[in-house]
């Protein structure tokens, strides 16, 4: 508190302080301070100056003609020169107040460092004689109080501007990162083969709508990346992408993880838990390996898709779901319906827009770009200065491989080979060490020569049964019945239905 000030002087300081509190930009601060000063001391001009990072002065000046409104005026250099002169001559704040004829110059300091200044033109609008600065404010206490208030207002304005700049920069960086993430995710599934290009074209087409999508295909074909692509190209791209691995959730917790639970719903539920469906509000809920869901959870998922509502475990109130559903599975849902393991009505609700992702062995044209992407990621993970490379002969072997594990197997093998290449290019030796030429599935025993002729249908059925028995009921992946027969899994499943074979009969 500055002592020795009159009531009018205290009112002036209070009005200027209030003006500074509401000025969030430099121009707004200058306008508000000019209006407050004008009430107590009619003036013709006011300028506030800020020291920039490079040492220059940024000046916001206001002036007005006879009886006119305040307008922003350009500094012709005299204002900045006056502030610089006062700063150089007066030093710290206690000696920083000086009357300069009809102009009052108040340099602003912070811990002895000049941070700006204020210049008040005391000439009256109509040209009438005005008191000098010393006559207008003969008391140094008032001048020091005014300088302190302006300094506080200047500092607050600068802080607000810095916060605004930081916030704007953070928003720009977040937008850039989202765009980069979307482009990276899209680049991972970019393909050269016609089959995969057709899949991506259909995915981009359905992405613009909230239609439920079911992604079909073998494990490792990139169904998760395709789901992210659909999300990134949808109107929900700014919303959350919630990935739920249905196969990894314990059977007793699947319902709680998906739909949440209320406090006291079961032993150990001490508080309310928000499920994945609620967390995906405004975005995309990706149900990976949806074929692993139990019948009880299938019924709740059917209600979610059919009515758009759900209930938490232990709850009594129906909640509205606000997420788009994309599901994926490698399991034959049609056969599971026949076996009584999957609901037919849920299948039709999920399969509104099906997309089949072909296995990598059916699209060898995609191997080179996938290898390039895998090399780039391997180089980043291994902290290599230069991205690993692959020889022409090694690339030819990679293209010729059948890839029973699809793109996931390729990714892992490339990183393994990059390590075994010991900093050099990946060649045939590195691929051998990485296991590309590893053991293959044993072929089926040849039929007996000279035996009785078997009808074709019976021979096909016996061959299918023999392969299923050797694979212990497994259809997909290396060592599966489809690989043993050299068939696509979907083709094998079609033949099994045609010949009355059930996978369950061959399980161990």
Domain assignment present for residue 116? The answer is yes
Last residue of a domain, one of 329, 358, 387: 358
Provide the residue range defining the domain that includes 467: 456-506
Q: Find the range with the poorest average confidence among 85-99, 180-194, 350-364, 460-474.
A: 85-99
Domain count of the fold of the chain: 4
Highest mean pLDDT among 108-117, 178-187, 303-312: 303-312
- In a shared domain, residues 333 and 399: no
Domain assignment present for residue 448? The answer is no
Report DSSP state, residue 505. Answer: G
- In a shared domain, residues 22 and 139: yes
Segment 296-316, tens digit of pLDDT:
899 999 999 999 999 998 888
Q: Find the range with the poorest average confidence among 89-98, 112-121, 369-378, 449-458.
A: 89-98
- In a shared domain, residues 40 and 134: yes
Domain assignment present for residue 179? The answer is no
State pTM to two decimals.
0.54
CA distance 491 to 476: 12
Domain assignment present for residue 18? The answer is yes
Token pair of 367 as six digits: 């191997």
Domain assignment present for residue 174? The answer is no
- In a shared domain, residues 151 and 14: yes
Q: Does residue 115 register a pLDDT over 60?
A: yes
- Give me the torsion for CA of 262, 264, 266, 267, rounded to 10°: 140
Domain assignment present for residue 445? The answer is no
Q: How many CA atoms lie within 13 A of 324 on its CB side?
A: 28
Helix (H, G, I), strand (E, B) or coil at 63: strand
Determine how many CB atoms are found less than 10 A away from the CB of residue 155. 15
- In a shared domain, residues 416 and 461: no
Last residue of a domain, one of 358, 382, 414: 358
- In a shared domain, residues 311 and 367: no
- In a shared domain, residues 317 and 417: no
Helix (H, G, I), strand (E, B) or coil at 288: strand
Domain assignment present for residue 472? The answer is yes
Domain assignment present for residue 175? The answer is no
């Amino acid at each position: 508190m500055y002592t020795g000030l009159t009531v009018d002087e205290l009112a002036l300081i209070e009005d200027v302080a209030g003006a500074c509190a509401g000025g969030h930009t430099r121009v707004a601060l200058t306008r508000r301070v000019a209006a407050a000063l004008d009430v107590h001391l009619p003036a013709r001009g006011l300028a506030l100056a800020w020291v920039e990072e490079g040492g220059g002065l940024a000046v916001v000046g206001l002036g007005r003609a006879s009886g006119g409104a305040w307008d922003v005026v350009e500094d012709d250099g005299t204002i900045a020169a006056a502030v610089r002169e006062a700063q150089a001559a007066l030093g710290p704040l206690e000696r920083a107040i000086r009357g300069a004829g009809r102009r009052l110059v108040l340099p602003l300091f912070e811990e002895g460092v000049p941070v700006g200044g204020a210049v008040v033109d005391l000439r009256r609008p109509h040209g009438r004689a005005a008191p000098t600065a010393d006559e207008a404010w003969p008391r140094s206490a008032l001048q020091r109080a005014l300088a302190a208030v302006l300094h506080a207002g200047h500092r607050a304005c600068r802080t607000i501007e810095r916060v605004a700049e930081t916030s704007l920069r953070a928003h720009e960086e977040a937008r850039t990162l989202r765009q980069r993430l979307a482009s990276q995710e899209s680049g991972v599934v970019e393909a050269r083969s016609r089959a995969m290009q057709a899949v991506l074209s259909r995915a981009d087409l359905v992405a613009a709508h909230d239609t439920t999508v079911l992604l079909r295909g073998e494990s490792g074909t990139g169904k998760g990346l395709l789901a992210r692509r659909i999300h990134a190209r949808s109107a929900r791209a700014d919303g959350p992408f919630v990935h739920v691995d249905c196969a990894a959730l314990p059977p007793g917790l699947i319902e709680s993880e998906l739909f949440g639970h209320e406090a006291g719903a079961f032993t150990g539920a001490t508080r309310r838990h928000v499920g994945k469906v609620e967390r995906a509000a405004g975005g995309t809920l990706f149900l990976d390996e949806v074929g692993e869901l139990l019948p009880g959870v299938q019924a709740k998922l059917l209600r979610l898709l059919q009515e758009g509502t759900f209930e938490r475990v232990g709850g009594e109130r129906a909640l509205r779901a606000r997420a788009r559903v994309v599901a994926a599975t490698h399991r034959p849902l049609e056969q599971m319906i026949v076996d009584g393991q999957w609901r037919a009505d849920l299948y039709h609700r999920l399969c509104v827009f099906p997309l089949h992702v072909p296995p990598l062995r059916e699209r060898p044209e995609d191997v080179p770009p996938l290898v390039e992407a895998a090399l780039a990621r391997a180089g980043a993970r291994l902290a290599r200065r230069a991205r690993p490379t692959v020889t022409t002969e090694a690339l030819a072997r990679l293209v010729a491989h059948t890839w029973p594990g699809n793109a996931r197997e390729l990714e892992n093998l490339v990183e393994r080979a990059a390590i075994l290449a010991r900093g050099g290019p990946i060649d045939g030796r590195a691929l051998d060490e990485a296991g590309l030429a590893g053991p293959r599935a044993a072929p089926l025993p040849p039929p007996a020569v000279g035996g009785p002729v078997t009808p074709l249908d019976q021979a096909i059925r016996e061959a299918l049964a023999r392969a299923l028995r050797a694979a212990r009921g497994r259809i997909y992946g290396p060592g599966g019945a489809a690989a043993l027969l050299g068939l696509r899994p979907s083709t094998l499943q079609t033949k099994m239905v045609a010949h009355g074979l059930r996978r369950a009969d061959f399980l161990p």
